[in-house]
Amino acid sequence: MKKILLATCLGLWGAITAAAELSGVFIDDEIKMPSGQTLTLNGAGLREKFWVDVYVGSLYLPSKSSDVAEILSRPGPWRVQLDFVYKEVDREKLITAWREGFEKNQSAETLQQLQPRIEQFYQYFDSNVVAREQYAFDYVPDQGVRITRNDKVLGVIPGEDFKNALLEIWLGNRPADKKLKKGMLGL
């Protein structure tokens, strides 16, 4: 009887700590920002390229929303977390994908204004990314987007315009992956 009770408790604890599992990645239902604020999982999805799972993308917000305009206009924090599942993603291919994401969702004028910060962003991808590595992009109001790889802070890129341009890679009118966008919006 004790073993059954223990197994039940452990099973419930696992269900509480992780909201879901996708492509072998356990996704937390909430996270704590370094500021101490708790963010809730808005949604998660799988980035696929030619039927290959590349990464699990998760969006965390102070409160859930499926309205892209509302999410982009929020002044508060958010996190986009990428948990890579493909064996190895080439650095150059990753930067090409980021470049396409920025270019597809921004005007030429906006790209020109953002270009120095976009180049700074690319510098944080200085090597190939392998399975089980994680990137987190945390928007911290009045600071900018903090880029973290495997819990190591790489840097911060300032500006609300950069914050929105980065988020639009996944949530914009021409997202990297339509199914991933729907997943991150919780749809």
Residue 15 in this model has a pLDDT that exceeds 80 = no
| Residue partners of 18: CB distance under 8 A and separation at least 6 | 26, 27, 28, 29
Token pair 């917000």: residue: 61
pLDDT value at residue 34 = 79
Please name the amino acid found at residue 4.
I
In whole angstroms, give the CA distance from residue 56 to residue 97: 15
Question: Which range among 6-10, 86-90, 111-115, 157-161 shows the weakest confidence by mean pLDDT?
Answer: 6-10
Domains of the chain: 2-184 (3.50.70.10)
pLDDT value at residue 51 = 79
> DSSP labels for 25-63?
EEEESEEE-TTS-EEEEEEEEEEEETTEEEEEEEEEESS
Beta bridge partners of 84: 55
Instruction: Enter the tokens of residue 10.
Output: 């452990």
pLDDT value at residue 99 = 96
Span 50-78, average pLDDT: 93
Distinct helix (H) and strand (E) counts, the chain: 6, 11
Question: Which range among 5-14, 72-81, 165-174 shows the weakest confidence by mean pLDDT?
Answer: 5-14
